[in-house]
Amino acid sequence: VVQITDNQIYDFQPEINDNGRIVWTRFDGKDLEIYSENSDGTNIVQITNNEAASGLPRDDCWAHINNPGRIVWMGFDGNDWEIYSANSDGTGFTQITNDSYDDEYPRINNTGRIVWHKFRSTTNTEIYSANQDGSGLVRITNNSYQDYYPQINNWNKITWMSFDGSDWEIY
């Protein structure tokens, strides 16, 4: 057992890839930030370090890492949630989404394809996908359902849960 963090602040939402690289969310006293470190406790990197211009917290959370070491997360830009991506060493920062909707809970596969849900209204949430550099944007669903929490495998097959107005189903 290796204790990765040892501090007086909150560290939570850890994920680990097959190569032993860990990502997690840390509350730094002002807002939530994304960190990365090897599973042996070496090579810690702070991936995000920001605040919104409004002075309100610019939270970054729910990081996910693929085996090549690419990270995706959702970050609050001062107005709404957007999707971001970077390498686990902090390089290659990319903003994937930039709109007036809440883009939430991203996942990335080992080929660099990202999926997330976009909260369009209280009764309509859609699934989207893009490459890790933001190119190749595709709207996966286009219905009046609430489509949430997509997952993607390495063959680009996507699954999600959907509320059709009466009950939850899996697609």
Task: Report pLDDT digits (tens) over 125-153.
Answer: 999 999 999 999 999 999 989 999 999 99
Looking at the DSSP bridge assignments, the partners of residue 65 are 71
The β-bridge relationship of strands 32-38 and 45-46 is: antiparallel
Distance of CA 148 to the CA centre of its chain: 14
- The structure's pTM equals 0.93
DSSP code of 134? S
- Alpha-carbon span 112 to 123, nearest angstrom: 30
pLDDT tens-digit profile of 61-116? 999 999 999 999 999 988 899 999 999 999 999 999 999 999 999 999 999 999 99
Residues contacting residue 155 through CB under 8 Å, at least 6 positions apart: none
